[in-house]
């Protein structure tokens, strides 16, 4: 306690200070608060940090005094630090609980959507035809609409097949009449011209009808074909067709190779390639099927069907020419020239492609890339 209104300051202190004195907060420039006190930290006699509260007191005639009370601040620091630890632990525990709750909600709340995703993947790969099973009330409408969409797709495909068949019969009959009438007047230049153009029309009609038929069939989901047995059956068939040329056809197919489409389409694509290879090969044709499996999970595999022959091969210009519809390098060879064009169109409808290059055997290499299962 310090008297501040006398010429000589009188200081009275507790025995804990002995002969020491406490610094004044007023001398440190700390202003009074609204409650009329000063609060701050000062250095104690032993060098420790003290928390101090200082207040001026006016006792009227008895004088004016400045009263200061201080205590060891380490206790306050310890309490504050303990509270910080407690608060930090509480928030950490709360964060862990919230994180676990979120993971639980996402894992179990979205589980039905994962089931639907897996079921749709099974439909695309041919392992299933519809979404089956019980779903929560919120997800059930999605499953019903998906099944309805699959059914509608099948109906559209069936109608398209019917229309394609009807169109084929409707066009073939008039064309046959034209060809027959023109053939009956073969000596007439006009009839020869009509016959030539009718043959071209027949090839064009065959091409576009075939493409329409293929497009209708490709849209059907859920069909899967084992590649190795299909290739082996083709090999035997082609050896019989070309047995007069003594062509040796060798095949090597991955037993795990599966094609997400109809067997007829795979036979048509590979059959055209093998047939062309047999026509140009000197003595040997090689067929190889390779499955490329992606590194990332969820991505589909790829099929590479490679057909090599030991013929004369083709230049870059010739390879570009034979890929066009109706183009043939040698008119003496049988065929309409639509084979490779149909392969290109059919592969594109399945999301694949056909590339031509040089084979290690010296002839032509035809590589068909298709999606796998």
pLDDT for 306: 95
Mean pLDDT along residues 111-115: 83
Give dist(CA 138, CA 331) in Å, integer: 64
Structure tokens at 34: 């609204």
95-108 exposure pattern, b = at least 16 Cβ within 10 A, e = fewer:
eeeeeeeeeeeeee
67-89 exposure pattern, b = at least 16 Cβ within 10 A, e = fewer:
ebebeebeeeeeeeeeeeeeeee
Give dist(CA 353, CA 355) in Å, integer: 7
pLDDT for 44: 77
Mean pLDDT along residues 106-125: 80
Mean pLDDT along residues 293-302: 71
- The number of beta carbons lying within 10 Å of the beta carbon of residue 27 is 8
Closest by CA position to 282, among listed 252, 242, 312: 312
Give dist(CA 285, CA 306) in Å, integer: 10
- The number of beta carbons lying within 10 Å of the beta carbon of residue 127 is 12
pLDDT in tens, 227-273: 999 999 999 999 998 888 888 999 999 998 999 888 888 998 999 99
User: Rounded to two decimals, what is the model's pTM?
Assistant: 0.52
Query: Could you tell me if 252 and 288 are in contact, meaning their C-beta atoms sit under 8 angstroms apart?
Result: yes
Closest by CA position to 291, among listed 300, 301, 299: 301
- Please give the full DSSP string across 190-207, using - where no structure is assigned: HHHHHHHHHHHHHHHHHH
Q: Give the helix, strand, coil percentages of the chain, each rounded to 5.
A: 50, 20, 30
Instruction: Find tokens 């004088």 and name the residue.
Output: 63
- The number of beta carbons lying within 10 Å of the beta carbon of residue 55 is 17
Q: Give the distance from CA 145 to its chain's centroid.
A: 23
Weakest mean pLDDT among 5-14, 35-44, 96-105: 5-14
DSSP bridge partners of 38: 54
Q: DSSP letter at 109? A: H
Give dist(CA 179, CA 80) in Å, integer: 104
Q: Is 41 helix (H, G, I), strand (E, B) or coil?
A: strand
DSSP bridge partners of 42: 50
Query: Could you tell me if 230 and 308 are in contact, meaning their C-beta atoms sit under 8 angstroms apart?
Result: no
Mean pLDDT along residues 86-101: 93
Structure tokens at 207: 């091409």
- The number of beta carbons lying within 10 Å of the beta carbon of residue 269 is 26
Q: Is 295 helix (H, G, I), strand (E, B) or coil?
A: coil
Give dist(CA 287, CA 309) in Å, integer: 9
pLDDT in tens, 162-195: 777 777 777 777 888 888 888 887 678 888 888 8
pLDDT for 37: 87
pLDDT for 337: 45
Residues in the chain: 373
pLDDT for 336: 43
pLDDT in tens, 137-155: 888 888 889 889 888 887 8
Give dist(CA 325, CA 288) in Å, integer: 26
Instruction: Find tokens 């140009």 and name the residue.
Output: 280
CA angle at residue 25 from 24 to 30, to 5 degrees? 155
Residues 6+ apart with CB under 8 A from 147: 130, 131
Q: Which residue has the higher pLDDT, 360 or 20?
A: 360
CA angle at residue 349 from 334 to 205, to 5 degrees? 45
């Amino acid at each position: 306690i310090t008297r501040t209104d006398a010429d000589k300051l009188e200081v009275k202190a507790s025995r804990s200070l002995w002969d020491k004195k406490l610094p004044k907060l007023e001398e440190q420039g700390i202003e009074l608060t609204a409650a009329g006190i000063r609060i701050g930290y000062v250095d104690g006699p032993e060098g420790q940090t003290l928390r101090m509260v200082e207040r001026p007191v006016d006792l009227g005639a008895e004088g004016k005094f400045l009263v200061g009370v201080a205590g060891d601040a380490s206790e306050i620091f310890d309490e504050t630090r303990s509270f910080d630890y407690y608060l930090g632990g509480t928030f950490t525990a709360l964060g862990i609980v919230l994180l676990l709750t979120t993971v639980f909600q996402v894992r179990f709340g979205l589980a039905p959507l994962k089931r639907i995703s897996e079921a749709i993947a099974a439909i695309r790969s041919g392992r299933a035809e519809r979404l089956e099973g019980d779903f929560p009330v919120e997800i059930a409408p999605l499953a019903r609409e998906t099944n309805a969409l699959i059914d509608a797709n099948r109906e559209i495909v069936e109608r398209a097949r019917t229309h394609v068949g009807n169109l084929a019969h409707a066009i073939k009959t008039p064309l046959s009449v034209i060809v027959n009438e023109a053939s009956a007047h073969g000596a007439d230049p006009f009839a020869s011209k009509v016959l030539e153009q009718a043959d071209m029309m027949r090839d064009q009609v065959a091409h576009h009808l075939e493409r329409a038929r293929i497009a209708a069939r490709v849209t059907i989901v859920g069909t899967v074909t084992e590649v190795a047995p299909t290739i082996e059956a083709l090999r035997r068939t082609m050896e019989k067709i070309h047995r007069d040329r003594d062509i040796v056809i060798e095949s090597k197919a991955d037993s795990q190779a599966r094609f997400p489409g109809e067997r007829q389409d795979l036979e048509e694509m590979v059959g055209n390639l093998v047939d062309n290879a047999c026509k140009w090969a000197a003595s040997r044709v090689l067929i190889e099927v390779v499955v490329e499996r992606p590194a990332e999970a969820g991505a589909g595999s790829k099929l590479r069907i490679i057909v090599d022959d030991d013929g004369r091969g083709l230049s870059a210009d010739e390879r570009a020419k034979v890929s066009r519809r109706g183009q043939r390098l040698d008119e003496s060879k049988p065929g309409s020239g639509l084979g490779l064009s149909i392969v290109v169109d059919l592969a594109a409808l399945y999301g694949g492609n056909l590339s031509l290059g040089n084979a290690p055997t010296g002839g032509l290499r035809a590589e068909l890339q298709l999606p796998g299962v």
